[in-house]
Amino acid sequence: MTRSLVIKSTSGTDRPEAANQAFTVAAAAVAAGADVSLWLTGEASWFAVPGRAAELELAHATPLPELLELVLADGRVTVCTQCAVRRGITAADVLPGVRIAGAPVFVEEILAEGAQALVY
């Protein structure tokens, strides 16, 4: 059984190290073969909009757009429904492959057998 890893990122450009850490762990888990679901909530929601991940710059860290691309290729990226609505982000605004979903889907993922959840 492949373990699943659900990562919730609540940080945006306001907390670059925390934001980058969430994406780094998600990309590393994808590379390790885990089933990865990255949830973007709060200010992290903006990273789902084209071009916005490039706004986060952090010395000695892999650029966020590269990490996001890796996760999108073999994992799932979700923007919190309420977070998206509060920021005026719609399904038409996000990168291809990003979905918008709410708490019931998040709870289903974190309660799945063998799931591990992390919050940054």
pLDDT grade, residue 3 (50/70/90)?
confident
Give tens-digit pLDDT for 32-61: 999 999 999 999 999 999 999 999 999 999
Where along the chain do its domains lie? 4-119
Contact predicate 102/9, CB 8 Å: no
Taking the C-alpha atoms of residue 23 and residue 88, their distance in angstroms, rounded to an integer, is 23
CATH topology assigned to domain 4-119:
Hypothetical Protein Ychn; Chain: A, (3.40.1260)
pLDDT for residue 2 is more than 80: no
What pLDDT is recorded for position 77? 98
In this structure, which amino acid lies at residue 37? S
pLDDT given for residue 37 in this prediction: 98
More confidently predicted of 82 and 3 = 82
- Report yes or no: 113 and 2 within 8 Å, Cβ to Cβ: no
Query: Distance from CA of residue 24 to its chain's centroid?
Result: 10
How much is the average pLDDT of 95-113?
97
Segment 89-107 mean pLDDT: 98
